[in-house]
Amino acid sequence: MDPIQPGDHQGYMCLALSLAQKSPPKPTNYRVGAVLVDTSSNNILATGYTLELPGNTHAEQCCLIKLTEKHGVSEENLKEVLAPHIALYTTVEPCSERLSGNLPCVERVLRLAGSLQTVYVGIMEPETFVSSNTGRKSLTDAGIDVVHVKGLEEQILEVATAGHVKA
């Protein structure tokens, strides 16, 4: 695969979508892919997808867990070791509530405010599991831009809902 050029939001979203396809289909969650990028150097810092790591892990959570292991810090202290210009690409808007009781992805992302400048999303979270995702507002209130990358919505939704009972 050719390297993704700086600012190629569609290219990074396609990479996130390819990661989402690795997630096992289940009726109780979305299959999501995420890519964390240092925008200053255009280096991919971490990738993740739903259920990649043990437990009921979400894609964004997997990215952050991998970075904590790489840098030997806690997730709460991860911002201290990251570059100042980070972007997150995720196929589905980060969750603001976890029905499992785990820390929502929005709260994990908010820990990186200041370093993390922008969250690029392929689709906003459907209301299947959480009827009112307040993640976008929380992120923008913290100074993190949320940008919809258009053009892959149909494919993202198909991958995200694989394994769901169709009405």
CA torsion through residues 120, 117, 54, 93, sign: negative
- Could you tell me whether strands 43-49 and 86-92 are parallel, antiparallel, or unpaired per DSSP bridges? unpaired
98 falls within a domain:
yes
> pTM for this one?
0.93
1 falls within a domain:
no
7 falls within a domain:
no
Report pLDDT for 167. 63
Residue 44 reports pLDDT greater than 80: yes
Q: Which residue range(s) make up the domain with 29?
A: 12-160
| Per-residue model confidence as pLDDT tens digits over 70-82 | 999 999 999 999 9
Report pLDDT for 130. 53
4 falls within a domain:
no
36 falls within a domain:
yes
Annotated catalytic sites, by residue? 60
What CATH number has the domain bearing residue 43? 3.40.140.10
Q: What is the mean pLDDT of the chain?
A: 91
Residue 95 reports pLDDT greater than 60: yes
2 falls within a domain:
no
As for how many domains the chain has, the answer is 1
